[in-house]
Amino acid sequence: MKKVISAECFNCQKCIAVCPKEGALTNSFAGGKIPLVLFVAMAGMVFILLPFLITLFL
C-alpha cells in the first residue's frame, strides 16, 4: 500500500485501493464510487461462487 497525494486521487479507478481516506473524500465522485465498487465486487463474488456451492450441496 503506497501513499498517494490527493491530487493523484482524481484518477479514481486506478487508485481507489491506495487512496488515503481524506484524499478520496475530497473528490465527491470517488466518495460515491467506493460503496458502489464494493457492492458490485461482493455481488460478483456471490454469482461466481453460487454455482460451486450449489454443486457441492446437491
14-41 pLDDT per residue, tens: 555 555 555 444 555 555 666 777 788 8
Model pLDDT, residue 55: 87
Q: Is the pTM for the entire model greater than 0.95?
A: no
- Nearest 10 degrees: Cα torsion 31, 35, 41, 47: -150
Model confidence band, residue 58 (pLDDT cutoffs 50, 70, 90): confident
Distance CA 20, CA 29 (A): 15
The alpha helices in 1-58, defined as continuous H runs, are 12-15, 21-26, 28-57
- Nearest 10 degrees: Cα torsion 38, 44, 48, 50: 90
Domain ranges of the chain: 6-57
* pLDDT > 70 in the chain, percent: 41
